[in-house]
Amino acid sequence: MLEVKDLDAGYGALRVLHSVSLNVAAGEVVAVVGSNGAGKTTLLRAVNGIVAPTAGGVEIDGHDVTGKPTEKMAKFGMTHVPENRLCFPSLTVKDNLDLGGWSRRGKLDLDPVLELFPRLKPRLQQVCGTLSGGEQQMVSIGRGLMADPKVILLDEPSVGLAPKVVSEIMTVMTRLAERGLAVLLVEQNVRASFKIADRAVVMQRGRVVLEGKPSELVERPEVRAAYLGGAAAA
């Protein structure tokens, strides 16, 4: 579904990504973990066309989409949910969700999103800025899903959220994969992401240094020391 091959990208003269390769199949959750500055966010931006790659390629279902504008990516079936719970605070929940469906034709269907996030249903006419942080994150993810994507990129969806809400968000990631989406999840909450990911990629200094099943990676001393406080994930 999503194939990233030998991707280089950066900002001006600053090269951040160095020959990054990974793939995400339909129905799969792949977690990308690493410390701050590892290049995780830049990876998502380069995959989605926000940052222009300087080498390598990105394919969706065999179609070369390398460096295409973000609005074109949506038409190929990719959606990107950035960090920081981006909702339009003065608009209602419904209006926020409707904005996510701009690339679709015909009547928008909220039901698939409300099935994933039932607590949004009684809040559809509520202004987004008055929601809790967790609810705003649900709106942000829901808006991305309104485009009916094949591939969803999520950047740190658990940041600043209570453990219970983090668990809800991670459960939604699993359900998206069950619906057949390819889910690429950037997370600093390694424990939470490893619980639901089919595979994980560890990045350091703009490079992929480890890749495998979470159950295998947690047995590696360097992963436990760097990301799990020295203990295996529960």
What type of residue is 91?
L
Given a cut of 80, is residue 233 above it in pLDDT? no
Residues 107, 109, 187, 6, Cα dihedral to 10°: -40
User: Which amino acid belongs to residue 13?
Assistant: A
Instruction: Say what the pLDDT of residue 188 is.
Output: 86
Query: d(Cα 194, Cα 172) in Å, to the nearest integer?
Result: 14
Model confidence pLDDT, tens digit, residues 166-223: 999 999 999 999 999 999 999 989 999 999 999 999 999 999 999 999 999 988 888 8
Task: Identify the pLDDT of residue 87.
Answer: 86
pLDDT of 71 reads 82
Instruction: Look up residue 225 and give its two tokens.
Output: 């020391």
Identify the band that residue 234 occupies on the pLDDT scale cut at 50, 70 and 90: very low
Residue 229 binned pLDDT confidence (cut-offs 50, 70, 90): low
Reply yes or no on whether the pLDDT at 128 is more than 70. yes
What residues does 78 pair with on adjacent strands? 151
Q: Residue 105 above 70 pLDDT?
A: no
Class of domain 2-85+151-227: alpha beta
Q: Give yes or no for a contact between 60 and 78, defined as CB atoms under 8 angstroms apart.
A: yes
What are the structure tokens assigned to 202, written together?
A: 């560890």
**CA dist list (Å): 144 to 96, 101, 113, 140, 202:** 10, 8, 10, 7, 25
Please name which of 151, 133, 92, 76 lies closest in space to residue 66, comparing C-alpha atoms: 76
Position 230 confidence tier, pLDDT thresholds 50, 70, 90: low
Whether the per-residue pLDDT at 104 is higher than 70: the answer is no
Share of the chain above pLDDT 90, in %: 76
Is the pLDDT at 103 greater than 80? The verdict is: no
